Structure 1
């Protein structure tokens, strides 16, 4: 590409309208199906790393047809949303979602997130529980479960931690992500998507759109800041405090979805979320990879609608009062020194399952 795309290039035409919503000091670009009544139950859709609102195109219309107000947003730093230099920590991202729900005129919402967007769902449900009715996480384990598996499970570590660390160096990561018209994004999708989707026109268009969106000024830097905070905060008091706050059991309904062929986020990491979610339902979707909501949209939408229509399990007041911080097993006890030692060992170990 001869010049960087304009942020407005993600305002793609379709059976939807584009909104500008101000929340938590940031202007967010949001999309919802045209003509959707504002008094319907709100479902907020949060995309993953290297993407933008487009990843929820299938669910947007399907949820609206089912009677919900579905709104997909470009997360902080992505697409046509503002790109401030700071605010990519867990607290601020959860505050963004809390503010978006209020700014859209609702007191609560169901949150649906993929990858990094799913981690925002977990954080918002924990830090702002009053505004979250339910959450659906796609290929996004609970952050404590993911950390545990990345350190203790060699298969998960080789798939997740090694490529995660490559983006930590300033400027070098940005150059890697944007080189050759963001060829990194094409490789990212090719290695994580199912073979059946890779051979479709929908896949080719999706990759092309995400490559273009990554080249929007400052998007590469902002998208990598999510991952840099997640790693660097492990060695700082703010990260320790955040993980301590996340170490509590949620009593709202949780649906965890994973494509059975996902090579990036493995099944055990997703299933482990039940330790932090009293009412988690875990399902694997056949024939899907890391982007299962785009690869198998009908199956994912069906699972989401079934979950939204189900009655939540009753949780007694006594059970909530007895909720206490979850103590990890002794073998998985965490400290910054142990975390750094495991990182050094993972770099020396051969990559592979």
Structure 2
């Protein structure tokens, strides 16, 4: 069984999916931490659980979630512990083990085995949770610009960006400029009000990122043996045990996941699909949201038989079209 590879540029036509309003939802994570989520679509539909990266919030998935709901799925976007509107851990435990324990708790509270979409930290957490616990229900896994081996320089750039603005911002314009400096390929938003979903205004009037600063105690700078929070050898062991239908989406311009790193994952999980999105960096869903979501839907709709069989080892993966 061999991996498939696609350089994805999107469809020639515009898909017309209906929109869906989000329903606030709460999950109980490890140590009784409350985890905030948004649900798009009916819970009786196939569930897609979307997990964001470090320093992000569930709102990063809003456009994708609406499209998935319009396509007949129940999309659930989750704020990780210490992020967005989820509880901050009183003793600052944002360890890999706690993130995995939270995901286990969320999955077990769902009525059916979810399809999991994990970006960056969310993808690494999913890889460990599923690879180290074969009994954890999951009908498919989509990893977004993440694999066991990441590029140290790209990971370092993310962590340094997060550390650079711990003293907050005076205005939304400062936030816009900081994001533009980090990701100059993405055009800055004309309406800055949407940035507020990623910010908290404290009593001093300044704007701060919507995550617990204690998270940075665990987001270490990368070395030869870890990706900042996650040990490469442990991730490799977990990846070898992934048996569910698997899709890896990489941004062509990503400085976090190289083509070599992606192909090393394919060696560990030879049943996986591999898709590269042109004109997208590490923030794949934000950089090229429409094409990203099309790639996800093409994979899910082309893999229905395998999803029903819950990742049968006999499923023959073909290239996306």
Using structure 2 for the length normalisation, give the TM-score. Answer: 0.73
Q: Which runs of 4+ in 1 moved over 6 A?
A: 182-185, 229-233
Q: Is the 8 A contact 1:288 1:295 kept in 2?
A: yes
Q: Secondary structure at the match of 1:99?
A: helix
Query: Could you tell me which residue of structure 1 aligns to residue 155 of structure 2?
Result: 160
Structural mapping, 1:52-63, within 5 Å: 52-63=57-68
Query: Could you tell me which residue of structure 2 aligns to residue 81 of structure 1?
Result: 86
Q: Is the 8 A contact 2:52 2:60 kept in 1?
A: yes
Q: Is the 8 A contact 1:178 1:220 kept in 2?
A: no
Indicate how the Cα distance of structure 1 residues 240 and 270 shifts in structure 2: closer, same or farther if over 3 A, else same: closer
Q: Secondary structure at the match of 2:244?
A: strand
1:70 to 54, 69, 75: 75
Query: Could you tell me which residue of structure 2 aligns to residue 117 of structure 1?
Result: 122
> Is residue 2:254 matched to residue 1:262?
yes
Instruction: Specify every segment of 5 or more residues in structure 1 that has no aligned partner in the other structure, as ranges.
Output: 1-13, 147-155, 168-172, 317-353
Q: Secondary structure at the match of 1:55?
A: helix
Cα distance in 2 for residues equivalent to 1:265 and 1:177? 26
> Is residue 2:208 matched to residue 1:215?
yes
Q: Deviations over 1:298-335 (max 9, x none)?
A: 1111111111122337525xxxxxxxxxxxxxxxxxxx
Structural mapping, 1:161-200, within 5 Å: 161=156, 163=157, 166=160, 176-181=165-170, 189-191=179-181, 193=183, 195=185, 197-200=186-189
Task: State the Cα distance separating 1:61 from its structure 2 match.
Answer: 0.9
Larger displacement relative to structure 2 (88-97 or 41-50): 88-97
Cα distance in 1 for residues equivalent to 2:123 and 2:69? 21
Cα distance in 2 for residues equivalent to 1:205 and 1:192? 19
Indicate the structure with greater helix content: 1
Find the structure with the greater CA-based Rg: 1
Query: Could you tell me which residue of structure 2 aligns to residue 152 of structure 1?
Result: none
1:26 to 30, 33, 52: 33
Instruction: Specify every segment of 5 or more residues in structure 2 that has no aligned partner in the other structure, as ranges.
Output: 1-19, 202-206, 315-321
**Greater RCO, CA 8 A, separation 6+:** 2
Q: Secondary structure at the match of 2:219?
A: helix
Using structure 1 for the length normalisation, give the TM-score. Answer: 0.67
Cα distance in 1 for residues equivalent to 2:85 and 2:155? 28
Structural mapping, 1:26-45, within 5 Å: 26-33=33-40, 36-45=41-50
Q: Deviations over 1:134-171 (max 9, x none)?
A: 1111122x23x22xxxxxxxxx333334x46758xxxx
Q: Once superposed, what is the RMSD of the aligned Cα atoms? A: 3.4
Cα distance in 2 for residues equivalent to 1:89 and 1:111? 20
> Is residue 2:104 matched to residue 1:98?
yes
Task: State the Cα distance separating 1:126 from its structure 2 match.
Answer: 0.8
Q: Is the 8 A contact 2:142 2:249 kept in 1?
A: yes
Query: Could you tell me which residue of structure 2 aligns to residue 285 of structure 1?
Result: 277
